[in-house]
């Protein structure tokens, strides 16, 4: 006789040991000394300011996922850029990791936002729009990470955005 489990998660839904991985980019303009922030649409953390990025699909490299997310969310690709690793966040339960990279561009651009975002802003790193997405807030409030971003920015790598 089959046993019925009330209130249990079906075993086909629960994946024990699965780690969800994500990646995102802090895009910095060397000419204006401002970073690109995106205003999230109606989803988790709606109406908070975040960075372009998202989930890494199984078998996908973080860099490939990041370029895909940038193209989807900003409507173009950034050619000739170097991804500078800024930090990798790991959740307390170790089921989620998120790698943030710095990308620099010479000129600000107007992104063609997809349905995930309802606005954008270029702002100095120390005058970011509020409220920030909790993950971005945590990144920008860790002095070691901000120092790493500052050092990476000083390298002044200058790629070009193409549509």
d(CA 137, CA 121): 16
User: Which pTM was predicted?
Assistant: 0.83
Residues 24, 52 contacting (CB under 8 angstroms): yes
> Is the bond leading into 131 cis (omega within 30 degrees of zero)?
yes
Find the radius of gyration of the CA atoms of the chain.
Answer: 18
Alpha-carbon distances of 127 from 34, 85, 113, rounded to whole Å? 9, 22, 22
| pLDDT per residue of the chain (163 residues) written in tens, 0 to 9 | 444 444 444 444 444 568 999 999 999 999 999 999 999 997 789 999 999 999 999 999 999 999 999 999 999 998 878 889 999 999 999 999 999 999 999 899 999 999 999 999 999 999 999 999 999 999 999 999 999 999 888 876 445 555 5
pLDDT at 7: 44
Q: What domains lie within the chain, and their CATH numbers?
A: 20-162 (3.90.79.10)
């Amino acid at each position: 006789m089959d046993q019925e489990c009330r209130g249990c998660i079906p075993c086909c839904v629960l994946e024990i040991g699965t780690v969800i991985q994500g990646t995102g980019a802090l895009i910095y303009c060397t000419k204006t000394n401002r970073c690109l922030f995106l205003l999230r649409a109606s989803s988790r953390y709606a109406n908070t300011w975040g960075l372009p990025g998202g989930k890494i699909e199984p078998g996908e490299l973080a860099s490939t996922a990041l370029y895909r997310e940038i193209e989807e969310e900003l409507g173009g690709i950034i050619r000739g850029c170097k991804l500078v690793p800024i930090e990798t966040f790991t959740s307390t339960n170790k089921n989620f990791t998120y790698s943030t990279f710095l990308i620099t561009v010479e000129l600000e651009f107007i992104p063609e936002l997809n349905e995930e975002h309802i606005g954008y802003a270029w702002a100095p790193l120390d005058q970011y729009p509020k409220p920030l997405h909790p993950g971005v807030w945590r990144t920008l409030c860790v002095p070691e990470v901000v120092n790493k971003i500052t050092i990476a920015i000083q390298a002044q790598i200058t790629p070009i955005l193409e549509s």
